[in-house]
Structure 1
Amino acid sequence: MAKRRAAFYWMTVPALLLFFVFHTFPALQGVFYSFTNWNGFAQTYDFVGFKNYYYLFQDDNVGNAYWFTFKFAILVTIVINVLSLLIAMGLNASIKARNFFRGVYFLPNILSVLIVGYIFNYLFSNVFTVWGQNIGSEALSTNLLGSQALAWVGVAFVAIWQGIALNTILYLSGLQTIPVQLYEASGLDGANKWQEFWKITFPLIAPFFTINMVLAMKNALMVFDLIVALTNGGPGRATQSISHLIYTGGFEGGEFAYQSANSVIYFIVIAVISIVQIRYLQRRETDM
């Protein structure tokens, strides 16, 4: 028995080594370089202490990237969870062709984010504008992604369209765990649909709500592929997310150490938001 247990432990060693080499060690390197002035390709560098962190809080580009990312993440997280819950409840109520529609709604999650982004880039640039001209709509005749004020709406639309897929399946799984007898008993007591939702449905799927909220917020805060495929941060810097700024500044702009400091703060922000979300939502689960 002891030998078998030891064998199980040894089987985890390769995975731990790979995780350390390709994840933990590069992360530690990033923290190290954040205290230097290394540009990413020079053979020498100097230690500058917390100067990179100090200048980050005075950088307008960094502030704009954080503002866009937070605005984008909050909107996308709320809309994804509201729509996916409504869709899941509709699918759960309809028995006919449930598995077919489940596959249809999950399809966007299978597609690559970059492929989806390039497809919608083409639609916004060439298809929707032609439709707008044909129907005489001035709003649709212009490319939404070319507007500094509205380009982020186009990015959010695509993110919501693709993000609904996974959340819908998770909500549907949660709804199917609720016994039908609870709804039958509530109907006999005279409860309406709204009361059934708040008193039965939502409390019983609260763990799924927590998972979906955390995942949707985390994915939205880390948005990168969609930005590259749709706008590449433009027009100007109107849709530049934090991760896109870190990539372009660190690997293309010679700000490797500076953006390493930005990535450290970025990691802390995401970790804090996720922890606060989990603790708050789990506390609500117990209060329901």
Structure 2
Amino acid sequence: MSTMTEAVRSSATGGGRRPRAPRVRTTTKRAHSTYYWMIWPCVIAFALFHTVPMLVGVFFSFTNYAGYGDWNFVGISNYLNLFRDDRVWNAYGFTFLFAIAATILTNAISLAIAMGLNAKIKARNFFRGVYFVPYVLAMLVIGYVFQYLFTNSLPRLFPDIPLFADNILSNPDWAWLAIVALAVWQGCAFTIIIYLSGLQTIPSELYEAASLDGASSWRQFWAITFPLISAFFTINVVLSLKGYLQVFDPIVALTNGGPGTSTESVTMLIFKGGYAGGEFAYQTANAVIFFIVITVVSLLQFRVLQRREADA
């Protein structure tokens, strides 16, 4: 009897030996190797086309290289000269003025449109597609269309308004408004989609309860809508400001930095001086400074806005 019981136990446990699972380990190793074979080409390509050129640019920022011919090391003189250059300061001033104005307008208009699209209106999906069309179109193509509107159509339609009658693009004090209008018109498309995604995560029961308590629409917005989409607001503000700080295409299409240098952004200055003005090393140093500025601004935005999310 005891012999039969031991035999049954032995057969149930595989003859007293522990079960082996070499196939599971082999499969795991294969999965890991496949994963690395997929990742490494991307890492190498990113390093070759992004990291290495960036490091080469940082290296040349400490030289007097003009983009051709011989060069010598000049230390940090390029960086010191940037702080003494009035044209650089004007470019930074215009860039931040433009970026702040465009960011505020883009987010305010996009949130208003997104709330309208999120409501129960007819042909809601149609209007969502219409509002996203500007994001698909090429900026230069849109820019030349807007240039025609500002130089020909608006002066004919509003001859009594001085801002439009004299061609706003030739006015050094107001030409930046035309660039803001173009950038906001296209930038709203992507921002609306982000806000719509956030608005659709809010339960409708919250608005019903607030309505029963007598809360007005404005009160519902500040007490329910805005706090619950604060994460989406953070994403939109950071992406908008970062993108507008690097503004280039709208300026090329509308004013090319003019009249004079009144609408010359930092990226436009780097392009003009570095590729056409024989200031390759000097403008590369400017690009390094600009990269640091954008990084610091983005990190500060994240810190301030995420702290506000936590408080909300």
Q: Counterpart in 1 of 2:83? A: 57
- Could you tell me which of 205, 210, 232 is aligned with 1:186? 210
Q: Which has the larger radius of gyration?
A: 2
Q: Counterpart in 2 of 1:9? A: 36
Q: Counterpart in 2 of 1:251? A: 275
Unaligned runs of 5+ in 1: none
- Could you tell me which of 104, 109, 132 is aligned with 2:158? 132
1:94 CA displacement: 2.9
Q: Counterpart in 1 of 2:176? A: 152
Q: Which amino acid aligns with 2:60?
A: Y
* SS in structure 1 of the partner of residue 158 of structure 2: helix
Residues 240-278 of structure 1 deviation map (CA, whole Å, 9 limit, x = unaligned): 000000000000000000000000000000000001111
Q: Counterpart in 1 of 2:255? A: 231
- Could you tell me which of 144, 151, 172 is aligned with 1:118? 144
The structure whose RCO (Cα within 8 Å, separation 6+) is larger is 1
2:310 is the counterpart of 1:286 = yes
1:140 CA displacement: 2.3
Tell me how far apart the structure 2 counterparts of residues 287 and 2 of structure 1 sit (CA, whole Å). 45
More displaced, 15-24 or 262-271?
A: 15-24
- Could you tell me which of 102, 109, 113 is aligned with 1:87? 113
Q: Which amino acid aligns with 1:153?
A: L
TM-score, length of structure 1 as denominator length: 0.97
* SS in structure 2 of the partner of residue 12 of structure 1: helix
State how many pairs are aligned: 285
Residues 72-99 of structure 1 deviation map (CA, whole Å, 9 limit, x = unaligned): 0000001110111011111111332111
1:186 CA displacement: 1.3
Q: Counterpart in 2 of 1:166? A: 190
C-alpha RMSD of the superposition: 1.0
* SS in structure 2 of the partner of residue 191 of structure 1: coil
Unaligned runs of 5+ in 2: 1-27
1:264-275 counterparts in 2 under 5 A? 264-275=288-299
1:138 CA displacement: 4.0
Tell me how far apart the structure 1 counterparts of residues 193 and 31 of structure 2 sit (CA, whole Å). 38
Tell me how far apart the structure 2 counterparts of residues 86 and 287 of structure 1 sit (CA, whole Å). 24
More displaced, 93-102 or 216-225?
A: 93-102
Q: Counterpart in 1 of 2:13? A: none
Q: Which amino acid aligns with 1:282?
A: Q
1:35-114 counterparts in 2 under 5 A? 35-42=62-69, 44-114=70-140
